Amino acid sequence: MKSVVEFDEDGLVAWIARASREFLKRAGAYVRTVARRKVLTSPKPSQPGQPPHSRRGLLKRGILFGVERDGKSVLVGPGFRFVGESMSAHEFGGKYRKERYPKRPLMGPSLKESAPRLAKMWDGAVK
């Protein structure tokens, strides 16, 4: 009895790359959702150390995600068109328009909170 086994390495690599891109899309969407839920719409500023408030909801709507062209990373965060440079002053603390802002981190804690779920999502991505 004779048997021949063929291994399609290119096909396997392409299949894993496709699964990785799909995972990154879902992961980016999940981290975005977690971050959006942390932002409250309120006319008052948030307490230092808490996620920033959004007066008109622009920050909440402005949190975007996108998979890089190479398909190996995803970028999640507030879009410059929506919030400009102000979010950097909130996230890390600092000056914006001659005013000092305390740290009001949003994206770092959102990623930290999402990490256990992302690991479970990746576990089922490539079958």
Is 2 a domain residue?
A: no
**In angstroms, what CA-CA distances link 99 with 8, 30, 71, 86?**
60, 33, 39, 11
Please check whether residue 28 is in contact with residue 74, taking contact to mean a CB–CB distance below 8 angstroms.
yes
Position 33 scores a pLDDT of 95
> For residue 1, is it within any domain?
no
Whether 114 is in a domain gets the answer yes
C-alpha distances in Å from residue 58, one per residue of 8, 40, 91:
48, 11, 16
- Report pLDDT for 109: 92
Mean pLDDT, residues 10-21: 84
Asked if the model's pLDDT at residue 99 lies above 90, the reply is: no
Per the prediction, the chain carries an average pLDDT of 87
Q: Which residues form the domain of 56?
A: 9-123
- Average pLDDT rounded to a whole number, residues 65-83: 88
pLDDT for res 123: 79
Q: What is the mean pLDDT of residues 51-68?
A: 89
38 within some domain: yes
- What one-letter code names the amino acid at 32? R
- The token pair that represents 97 in the structure block: 């328009």
Count: domains in the chain = 1
Q: How far apart are CA 32 and CA 60, in angstroms?
A: 9
At residue 5, does pLDDT exceed 80?
no
